[in-house]
């Protein structure tokens, strides 16, 4: 664990436990936007006790609610989790399905002409394409 997980969880109002720490730590170190089951597979052997899927889901939902991570989606229907909470968008390699973070500043300008009826809180750009090499 390279990150100070306990402090991160505490400052977000989530009581640190070994299960939560190992899940949050995995999410912070990976960049692969894993599904719940990928999180489960990745961390289940890192604890001295058995890990329940219910705990994984409970923890992921708690972390989302606390603002430590966010949900995102690429293919319709598969929920993925992302510990990168900076303002960013996503590039999806249409061949491999791999997801890359694209900083918000990378999108130079996006002007919306939505009229008076729509008040924009935030927007998210999902980009589909190919990664070279």
Site residues, Zn ion (CB under 5 A): 82, 84, 101
80: phi then psi, degrees, rounded to nearest 5: -125, 160
- Interaction mask 85-124, a copy of itself, x per CB under 8 A: ------x--x-----x-x---xxxxxxxxx-xxxxxxxxx
H or E element that contains 49: none
Q: List, in order, residues 6 or more apart from 80 with CB less than 8 Å away.
A: 33, 34, 35, 71, 72, 73, 74, 99
Residue 84, binding choice from Zn ion, a copy of itself, DNA, none, Cβ under 5 to 8 Å by partner class = Zn ion
Q: Which residues bind DNA (CB under 7 A)?
A: 14-15, 17-20, 35-37, 47, 49-55, 57-59, 61, 77-79
């Amino acid at each position: 664990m390279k990150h100070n997980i306990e402090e991160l969880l505490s400052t977000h109002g989530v009581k640190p436990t070994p299960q939560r720490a190992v899940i949050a730590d995995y999410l912070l170190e990976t960049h692969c936007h894993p599904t719940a089951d990928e999180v489960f597979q990745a961390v289940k052997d890192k604890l001295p006790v058995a890990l329940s899927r219910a705990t994984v889901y409970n923890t992921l939902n708690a972390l989302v609610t606390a603002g430590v991570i966010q949900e995102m989606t690429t293919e319709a229907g598969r929920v993925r989790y992302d510990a990168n909470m900076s303002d960013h968008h996503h590039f999806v390699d249409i061949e491999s399905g791999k997801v890359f973070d694209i900083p918000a500043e990378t999108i130079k300008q996006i002007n919306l002409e939505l009229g008076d009826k729509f008040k924009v809180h935030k927007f998210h750009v999902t980009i589909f394409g190919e990664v070279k090499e």
